[in-house]
Amino acid sequence: MTYKKDDIVNFIGTTYYNNSSASAAPHTCTPGIARVTAISEKAAHPYHLIYISKMGSNVYGWVDEAFIGGLYDSSTPLKALKYSDKNPPLECYMYSSNWYKGAVKNSKPIGILWHDTGAGNPMIKRYVQPDDKNNNYDEMMKLLGKNRYGNDWNHSNREAGVNAFIGELEDGTITTVQVGPWEMAPWGCGGGTLGSCNGYIRQNGSAKWIGQHWI
């Protein structure tokens, strides 16, 4: 085994399981620093981790070795979190938004459009809240925190939507929350005859239209 009990490690995943052989849907969590508290050799999820307080993560369960990014060394930067199909970002689809119900689904994303909200509010809960269709409603509310003003974008009267938000969770952890499929065209930065993200480009960004995509 690569790690031993009581090792302090850099956890780069976003999920954990109740037991080392679990096949059911995992719990969501945030990456950060954690302690190895138990090991189950040859198991599907061989390491049991418990988060270190105020070090970013809230993991508390069994994880895959692939989601441990090495031993934690306080003298060097944390290993960058890289998302993939096997290690997706936190997910909180906003099923009640007009964007989720009506956005065009393109065949394949070919680029990324970054857009600053310009609001000066770093909290993801300002824009993202789960609804009753979210299977992890309670967990997501704990992670995100409640938007007490009810002005998030998960409403039918909100004509806006993007695929993901980067910002702070309730505990101050900086992370990414995906709110809809990557194939859906964003409604987030202006309008035009060809849809959102064309005709007007806000802030100081630049973009180029190729086929059905802005890049």
* 42 lies in some domain: yes
User: Do 140 and 190 sit in the same domain of this protein?
Assistant: yes
Domain extent for 136: 89-215
pLDDT in single tens digits along all 215 residues of the chain: 899 999 999 999 999 999 999 888 899 998 989 999 999 999 999 999 999 877 778 899 999 999 999 998 766 555 555 677 767 788 899 999 988 988 777 757 767 777 777 677 889 999 999 988 888 888 889 889 999 999 999 998 888 888 999 888 888 777 889 999 988 878 876 555 544 554 444 333 444 333 333 33
User: Do 114 and 190 sit in the same domain of this protein?
Assistant: yes
Q: What total number of domains does the chain contain?
A: 2
**Rounded CA separation 172/36 (Å):** 23
User: Which pLDDT score is estimated for 214?
Assistant: 35
* 81 lies in some domain: no
User: Do 104 and 187 sit in the same domain of this protein?
Assistant: yes
Beta strands, E only, the chain: 8-11, 15-16, 27-28, 32-39, 47-51, 60-63, 68-71, 90-91, 164-168, 174-178, 209-210, 213-214
User: Which pLDDT score is estimated for 196?
Assistant: 53
User: Do 104 and 34 sit in the same domain of this protein?
Assistant: no
User: Do 110 and 203 sit in the same domain of this protein?
Assistant: yes
User: Do 52 and 101 sit in the same domain of this protein?
Assistant: no
* 79 lies in some domain: no
Print burial letters for 4-40: b (CB count within 10 Å at least 16), e (below 16).
eeebebbbbbbbbbeebebeeebbbbbbbbbbbeebe
* 94 lies in some domain: yes
